[in-house]
């Protein structure tokens, strides 16, 4: 049967890889809805190619002129505006699968709406689980949704765990698991002299050695906050205690993560670094489908290398573990402050090395509370953003 797909964040890097895989399997998938924040031209081009029933511009108010332009270009999709439209297309009874590929906290509400509607959720938007892990997972369980990880590390862990029929990430059997080892490339500054880090530019930080990704996650990879967010993501996806999740630097990005079992066996998942591999895995699950990725040539790779992360070089990783241990809204505060700090760095307003300082400031200024509902989490997110903006302003004065 054809599966109808809502793609949240269609104009991004994960969006492009998803549409590439989908186009390889025309009978299997149909594009039901495509969303973008404000990039109308990019969305129009995708609509002409994939003919979804709905197109959403969530960051723009109702605009009759744009609607006319889409129609004049030959686009037959119904064009919707505003953030509410994201939740509508994620929860629509006609949609079967939701690819959650919006970047940042903005992805939480529509992804949760999809989970509450019992959809099959393919989760790239890790920030949603970081902010709202426990009650997001509860919604998945209670509403019978299926949750499949797209983040390459979590997709790898999912593939390494024993598979049960009708499985979803939250139902993975983890009793026999001793440790989850999340691999990390170490980003572009893994071996750069520490003294030089305060002067790095946004372009240098976004030049990832192995992956071409959006700018926010590229900076997160450089600071290793990305891995910190992924530790929190793994804690909720697989229901494992934080002390059983470890980070291992593997600069080649061939092994995407490993699971160690109580008997000492370690299972790993390998592939060339290409997001179409986890995307095809989750789209096809439990079947295997073509992704378009080139085959891995291990003889050409020769050797696989590993090292432990250096806490001085990557302070953001320690902050993420601290937020996870603190619990409640602390991970939401960490995430929001990181979004503000990274945006300020990308705009040239904040030094690279001040990113963890802004986050620490926000974590002290916006103490954690219990995270029982979407509202409490969004309130913590707002307080953390305000505190982080104050932190950025204070540090900007000292940046010159
Ligand atoms: P990107 O910046 O390339 O694309 C982001 C998409 O989200 C765009 O379509 C944009 O229009 C939309 N968007 C941005 N802000 C929005 C807002 N406020 N409201 C609604 N929509 C908004 O990002 P990406 O690299 O594709 O990453 C998307 C998500 O996937 C992130 O959560 C990231 O952590 C995760 N992820 C990405 C990769 C990767 O290889 N790119 C790997 C693993 C996980
Ligand atoms: Mg990842």
DSSP result, 187-216? -TTSSS-GGGGGG--HHHHH--SS----HH
| Residue 14 reports pLDDT greater than 50 | yes
- Structure confidence at residue 378 as a pLDDT band (50, 70, 90): very high
Q: Side-chain half-sphere of 144: how many Cα atoms within 13 Å?
A: 1
Distance 278 CA to ligand 2 centre (A): 10
- Answer whether residue 400 shows pLDDT above 90: no
Instruction: Give the mean pLDDT of the chain.
Output: 96
Q: How far from the centroid of its chain's Cα atoms is residue 276's Cα?
A: 14
Q: How far does residue 218's CA lie from ligand 1's centre (Å)?
A: 11
Q: In whole angstroms, what is the distance from residue 225 CA to residue 246 CA?
A: 14
Q: Map tokens 């992924």 to a residue.
A: 230
Provide residues with CB under 6 Å of ligand 1: 9-15, 36-37, 39, 58-59, 101-103, 106, 124-127, 151, 211, 213-214, 217, 275
Cα 228 from Cα 382, distance rounded (Å): 21
- The DSSP letter of residue 21 is H
Predicted confidence (pLDDT) per residue in 167-192, tens digit: 788 776 677 999 999 999 999 999 99
Q: What is the pLDDT of residues 44-66, one digit of tens each?
A: 999 999 999 999 999 999 999 99
The predicted-structure confidence for 135-165, as pLDDT tens digits, reads as follows 999 999 999 999 999 999 999 999 999 877 5
> Is the distance from CB of 364 to CB of 319 less than 8 angstroms?
no
Beta bridge partners of 270: 255
- pLDDT at 363 (0 to 100): 98
Angle of helix 40-50 versus helix 64-72 axis, rounded to 10: 40
* Atom of ligand 1 minimally distant from the CA of 151: 43
Atom of ligand 1 nearest to the CA of 11: 9
Beta strands in the chain (DSSP E): 3-8, 29-36, 54-57, 78-81, 97-100, 120-123, 146-149, 177-184, 245-249, 255-261, 266-270
Burial 153-178 (b: 16+ CB within 10 A, else e): bbbbbbbbbeeeeebbbbebebeebe
Distance (Å, whole) CA 41 – CA 199: 35
Residue 220 CA, closest ligand 1 atom number: 34
Q: What's the CA-to-centroid distance between 303 and ligand 1, angstroms? A: 32
Model pLDDT for residues 311-358, shown as the tens digit of each residue: 999 999 999 999 999 999 999 999 999 999 999 999 999 999 999 999
Closest ligand 1 atom number to CA of residue 211: 40
């Amino acid at each position: 049967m054809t599966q109808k797909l809502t793609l949240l964040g269609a104009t991004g890097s994960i969006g492009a890889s998803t549409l590439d895989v989908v186009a390889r399997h025309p009978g299997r998938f149909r594009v039901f809805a495509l969303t973008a924040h404000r990039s109308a031209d990019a969305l129009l081009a995708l609509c002409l190619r994939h003919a979804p029933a709905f197109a959403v511009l969530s960051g723009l108010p109702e605009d009759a002129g744009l609607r006319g332009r889409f129609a004049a270009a030959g686009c037959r999709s119904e064009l919707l505006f505003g953030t509410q439209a994201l939740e509508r297309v994620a929860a629509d009874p006609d949609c079967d699968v939701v690819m959650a590929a919006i970047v940042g906290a903005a992805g939480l509400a529509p992804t949760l709406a999809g989970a509450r509607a019992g959809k099959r959720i393919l989760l790239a938007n890790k920030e949603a689980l970081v902010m709202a892990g426990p009650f997001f997972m509860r919604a998945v369980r209670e509403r019978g949704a299926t949750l499949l990880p797209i983040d390459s590390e979590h997709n790898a862990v999912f593939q390494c765990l024993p598979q049960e029929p009708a499985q979803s990430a939250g139902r993975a059997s983890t009793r026999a698991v001793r440790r989850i080892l999340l691999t990390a490339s170490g980003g572009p500054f893994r071996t750069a002299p520490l003294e030089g880090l305060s002067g790095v530019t946004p372009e240098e930080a976004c030049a990832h050695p192995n992956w071409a990704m959006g700018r926010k996650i590229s900076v997160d990879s450089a600071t290793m906050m990305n891995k910190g967010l992924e530790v929190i993501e793994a804690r909720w996806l697989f229901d494992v205690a934080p002390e059983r999740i470890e980070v291992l630097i593997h600069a080649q990005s061939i092994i995407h993560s490993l699971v160690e079992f109580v008997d000492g066996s370690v299972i790993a998942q390998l592939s060339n670094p290409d997001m179409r591999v986890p995307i095809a895995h989750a789209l096809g699950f439990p079947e295997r489908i073509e992704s378009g990725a080139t085959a891995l040539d291990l003889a050409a790779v020769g050797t696989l290398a590993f090292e432990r992360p250096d806490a001085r070089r990557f302070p953001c990783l320690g902050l993420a573990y601290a937020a996870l241990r603190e619990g409640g809204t602390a991970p939401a505060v960490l995430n929001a402050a990181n979004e503000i700090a990274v945006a300020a760095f990308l705009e040239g307003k904040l030094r690279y090395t001040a990113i963890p300082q802004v986050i620490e400031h926000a974590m002290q200024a916006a103490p954690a509370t219990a995270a029982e509902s979407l509202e409490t989490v969004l309130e913590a997110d707002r307080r953390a953003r305000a505190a982080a903006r104050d932190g950025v302003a204070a540090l900007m004065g000292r940046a010159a």
